Structure 1
Amino acid sequence: MHGPRVYARRFATWLSLRHPRLARALGFAHARRRPLFRVLQLIMHVIGFFMSISAVMDTRTSQGAIAWAISLNTFPFVAVPAYAVFGDGDFSSYIATRQAGLEEVRPMAERLVQSIDEAEVARTDLTGLMGTLSNLSSMPVTFGNTAELLVDGEETFPAIFEAIDSAQAYILVQFYIIRADDTGRELARRLIEKARAGVRVKVLYDDYGCLGLSDDYLAALREAGIEVQPFLNLVGGANRFQLNFRNHRKLVIVDGKTAFVGGLNVGDEYRGLHARLSPWRDTHMRLTGPVVTCLQVPFAEDWHWATGQMLTDLDWSISQRNEGDARGLEAVSIPTGPADPMETCSLTYLAAISAAKERIWIATPYFVPDEPIIQALQLAARRGVEVRILMPELFDSKLVEFSSYSYIGELEMAGAEIRRYQDGFMHQKVMLVDDDFSLIGSANFDNRSFRLNFELQVGILDRGFAGKVEDMLTADFLRSRATSAHDLAEKSMPFKVGVRVARLLAPIQ
Structure 2
Amino acid sequence: MGMEQGAFQLLGYLLVLIQALGVAAAVHAVFTVRTAQGAIAWAISLLFMPYLTLLPYLVFGRSRFDAYIEARRQADLQMHRAMAELDWRPWVEEALTAHDSEAAQNLKVLARLGRQPPLANNRVRLLIDGENAFAAIFEAIAQAREVILLQFFIVRDDRLGRRLQRLLLERAASGVQVFFLYDRIGCHALPRRYVQRLREGGVAMHAFSVSAHSGLLNRFQLNFRNHRKLVLVDGRRGFLGGLNVGDDYLGGNPALSPWRDTQVELSGPVLACLQESFAEDWFWTTRQLPPLLLPERYPAGGVLCQLVGSGPADPQETGSLQFVAAINAARRRIWLASPYFVPDESVFAALRLAALRGLEVRLLLPSRPDHRVVYAASSLYAFEALEAGIRVFRYLPGFMHQKVLLIDGDTAAVGSANLDNRSFRLNFELTLFTVDAAFAAEVECMLQTDFSRSRELDREESRRAHRLKRLGMRVARLISPIL
Which bin holds the TM-score, normalised by the shorter protein? over 0.9
**Identity of matched residues, %:** 46
1:139 aligns to what? 116
Matches of 1:425 and 1:305, distance apart in 2: 34
User: Aligned pair 1:116/2:95, yes or no?
Assistant: no
Would you say the 8 A contact 2:95–2:120 is kept in 1? no
1:492 is aligned, of 454, 459, 466, to 466
User: Aligned pair 1:191/2:165, yes or no?
Assistant: no
Amino acid in the other structure paired with 1:106 = H
Matches of 2:307 and 2:93, distance apart in 1: 17
1:422 aligns to what? 396
Query: 1:382, CA displacement in angstroms?
Result: 1.2
Query: 1:119, CA displacement in angstroms?
Result: 7.1
Would you say the 8 A contact 1:439–1:457 is kept in 2? yes
1:410 aligns to what? 384
Amino acid in the other structure paired with 1:252 = V
Distance 1:121 1:408, change over 3 A: closer
Matches of 2:349 and 2:83, distance apart in 1: 34
Please list the CA deviations of residues 182-228 of structure 1 after superposition, one character each: whole Å capped at 9, or x if unmatched. Answer: 00000000000000000000100001110000011111100101001
Amino acid in the other structure paired with 2:458 = S
Matches of 2:205 and 2:249, distance apart in 1: 22
Counting matched residue pairs gives 474
User: Aligned pair 1:438/2:415, yes or no?
Assistant: no
Would you say the 8 A contact 1:408–1:485 is kept in 2? no
Query: 1:361, CA displacement in angstroms?
Result: 0.2
1:91 aligns to what? 65
Query: What are the within-5 Å matches in structure 2 for residues 389-400 of structure 1?
Result: 389-400=363-374
Please list the CA deviations of residues 352-401 of structure 1 after superposition, one character each: whole Å capped at 9, or x if unmatched. Answer: 10010110000000000011111111111111110000100101111111
Query: 1:494, CA displacement in angstroms?
Result: 2.5
Moved more, 90-99 or 278-287: 90-99
Query: 1:508, CA displacement in angstroms?
Result: 0.9
Using the size of structure 1 for normalisation, the TM-score is 0.89
Matches of 1:85 and 1:124, distance apart in 2: 47
Matches of 2:204 and 2:95, distance apart in 1: 39
Would you say the 8 A contact 1:113–1:139 is kept in 2? no
**Aligned partner of residue 56 in structure 2, secondary structure:** helix
Would you say the 8 A contact 1:115–1:318 is kept in 2? no
2:253 aligns to what? 274
User: Aligned pair 1:203/2:177, yes or no?
Assistant: no
**Aligned partner of residue 102 in structure 1, secondary structure:** helix
1:507 aligns to what? 481
1:465 is aligned, of 439, 443, 448, to 439
1:14 aligns to what? none
Using the size of structure 2 for normalisation, the TM-score is 0.94
2:218 is aligned, of 237, 240, 261, to 240
1:301 aligns to what? 280
User: Aligned pair 1:314/2:292, yes or no?
Assistant: yes
2:244 is aligned, of 265, 287, 299, to 265
2:4 aligns to what? none
2:312 aligns to what? 338
Amino acid in the other structure paired with 1:286 = E
Please list the CA deviations of residues 36-60 of structure 1 after superposition, one character each: whole Å capped at 9, or x if unmatched. Answer: 5544332221111111111111111
**Aligned partner of residue 280 in structure 1, secondary structure:** coil
Matches of 1:41 and 1:301, distance apart in 2: 45
1:250 is aligned, of 210, 225, 229, to 229
Amino acid in the other structure paired with 1:508 = I
**Aligned partner of residue 479 in structure 2, secondary structure:** helix
Report the RMSD for the aligned CA atoms in angstroms.
2.0
Which blocks of at least 5 consecutive residues in structure 1 are unaligned? Answer: 1-32
1:163 is aligned, of 140, 143, 150, to 140
Matches of 2:63 and 2:247, distance apart in 1: 35
Matches of 1:474 and 1:332, distance apart in 2: 24
Which blocks of at least 5 consecutive residues in structure 2 are unaligned? Answer: 1-6
Moved more, 434-443 or 137-146: 137-146
Query: 1:61, CA displacement in angstroms?
Result: 1.1
Amino acid in the other structure paired with 2:323 = Y
1:47 aligns to what? 21
1:72 aligns to what? 46
Higher relative contact order (CA 8 A, sep 6+): 2
